[in-house]
Structure 1
């Protein structure tokens, strides 16, 4: 049975080495990164870009990028990751929000959860907060979808 997974996570990833994230993704994305899996990734900097690069290089899973506006409106790091992995990205969904504010990001997060069977979240280590990562995880919970939460 194909598995659809939404990935959500912090944009703040500079506190760890890139090799740490590679090991983390190997352990927590690797078991789900089957040929019949489909990953929905938010197309932002941080976990979004790092997980995109890892999945593109370490799996044959399908990858869809979802942005609240357009790819061109995303930070340089995110645009570069998308360009680098373009041949591995099955689809780019640009939700074309008129302004990139919190409601647009929440709509993007909900779109990904609505299209996924489960969510893997990589929030910053510490207490649960009001970040977009936690909003996405909590929305998945409200929809009765499984969540794997991996603090970074």
Structure 2
């Protein structure tokens, strides 16, 4: 099952404006990271990605041609692992808030589960735990505790 973080703009609670952001690896960000960033309008992350990959490319070339490709591949892999977290960060910076979490085999199933849960009434009350027979007995002072712990409060 996939887990999605549900985000909404702060100024409205309209259900048609909700965004479901998957938690975990992002395949489009792995294969086309720059296009994915531009499509999502993540300008600050785009700039950071370009600067970091350019710096890694420069450092890799100083170490040798074989290392350069490996470093670039690892950078894109790391980016794809964190791409959706960066998307949530960007949305929260734009004033969006997290309104819930949904899970399902697909985004459609997660949306159905999320919206079905919104119509549920308040959760059922949990019955109170049975009262202890020692509930009214006063607590006596404890002797000092040995070791690094302070003396019991009185």
TM score, norm. by length of structure 1: 0.28
TM score, norm. by length of structure 2: 0.27
Looking at secondary structure, tell me which structure has more strand per residue: 1
Rg (Cα) greater in structure: 2
Looking at secondary structure, tell me which structure has more helix per residue: 2
